[in-house]
Homo-oligomer: A and B are copies of this chain.
Amino acid sequence: MREAVFMSEVTASITHDVQNVLAIIQQSAGLMSDLLDLSRRESLKSLGLRKGFPYHDKFKTLIGAINEQVDRGTGLSEGLNRLAHAVDERPGPTDAAGMAGLLFFLIGRIARKRRVAFALETSGPVPVDCSPMAALLGMYAVARALIDALSDCAVRVRVEMRGAEPVVVFLLPEGGEGGASVGLPTEMVLGDGAVSIRLDFRDDRIAMVFPSCPSSGQAG
């Protein structure tokens, strides 16, 4: 069994449990919010005889903070769960735009440590002929090289068709040292040789040219 398959099975299972944890927290917070509302109504109905809970507003704020974190945690957990399921060995077509969205969400913290931000620009699905994991791995290799080479900057990433070729273009920040200096090869071979991604380097950008789908435009 491959390490990645083991990790994906465990990750899928644990993220499921984490989502249950967050759901129970959300329910508890929701119930507290309902009880606070009820308490306020009871206090109003008593025409001032029964004073309201003095920390009503403070509690509402804290419950709001909990709900915000539950949403954040659910998003993180779902992202990790999607990554785990990307290990399935489907050959493609894969939507490169969707995978880019997942990747840049997942590596946001890794990039932030170097104060690098990736800004994704897509306008719909871009089908590529490789597995989801190969697409993720290829884009991560470029993103990781940029994170290691850069700091304090934003990198725009465009996922689009260039004629019949699906491309992922990393637009480097002005004053950057050019794409060729980040130590990437001109061709990436992934998935045990099944997938080849060509890299075009220019001063202001790195373009990844993915294998196009036989019936291009039909992602399924």
A residues in contact (CB < 8 Å) with B? 1-4, 6-11, 13-18, 21-22, 24-25, 28-29, 31-32, 35-36, 38-39, 42, 50-51, 53-55, 58-59, 62-63, 65-66, 69-70, 72-73, 76-77, 79-80, 83, 87, 106-107, 109-110, 133, 136-137, 140-141, 144
Contacts and interface: CB of A to CB of B under 8 A. Distances in A.
B1 A4 contact: no
11 contacts: A1-B140, A3-B137, A6-B137, A10-B107, A10-B110, A13-B106, A13-B110, A14-B80, A15-B80, A28-B62, A35-B58
Contact of A137 (B1, B59, B140, B141): B1
Given A16-B109, A55-B39, A106-B10, A21 B73 contact: yes
Nearest to A72: B21
A18 B76 CA distance: 7
In the A-B complex, the 3 residue pairs with the smallest Cβ-Cβ separation, listed nearest first, are: A3-B4, A21-B73, A28-B62
Contact of A65 (B24, B73, B87): B24
Given A10-B106, A80-B10, A141-B1, A54 B42 contact: yes
Contacts of A62: 28-29, 31-32
A110 B13 CA distance: 7
A104 B195 CA distance: 36
A6 to B, nearest CB: 5
A112 to B, nearest CB: 10
B25 A70 contact: yes
Contacts of A69: 21-22, 24-25, 28
Contacts of A55: 35-36, 38-39
A29 B136 contact: no
A7 B83 contact: yes
Nearest to A191: B3
Contacts of A4: 2-4, 7
Given A4-B7, A25-B25, 11 more contacts: A1-B137, A1-B140, A1-B141, A3-B137, A11-B83, A15-B80, A24-B65, A25-B66, A32-B62, A39-B53, A39-B54
